[in-house]
Structure 1
């Protein structure tokens, strides 16, 4: 997810939707990840209106500077791209199962709630 603990914490705090950004990345497309992140952030703010204040408090407590979402997406994408093909998720049960990329093949348009 990141090169070091500080970078990982910045992504966790600033991009809590990182898993879904990867899922809806169209195979690692940065623009698809940005679009997905915008939809996910909108959904998060609707569910938790005070999320911005929570992020600031946590970042301050950890002496971290908030990073723009676009920077976090780029960092996440670069970190995940560097893990392939050696570190990927198992595709299924059994020793002979294929491995899958951490980048999902879905696009933001594949989510009917975001159309």
Structure 2
């Protein structure tokens, strides 16, 4: 798995238009916090279960990739943590090019336990939209 900072992931997506860009946060996060334009939403887990079903997730990604395991898959979540587990599941299923967006959409927690002030897709000024 490749780990790229948000600006590098954005550049990767610009260079590789065939890449599948996935936002794996819960639907509420995706809708109300915001998301990159054009990203495909496939949650790693949802409320209230809060448990990932890796097999189901991989099946959904395979459908989106039209069963092409060589499709580059770029994963983003809130902080870059969920994407590691999701990326490992994709690699175990045979995907050959998986990218984790470090720090995710909202970034790391600061000293006041708040996100969006140190790092992340939005912090870096990359394109995003909100419901």
Q: Give TM-score, length-normalised by structure 1.
A: 0.31
Q: Which has the higher helix share?
A: 1
Q: Give TM-score, length-normalised by structure 2.
A: 0.28
Structure with max Cα Rg: 1
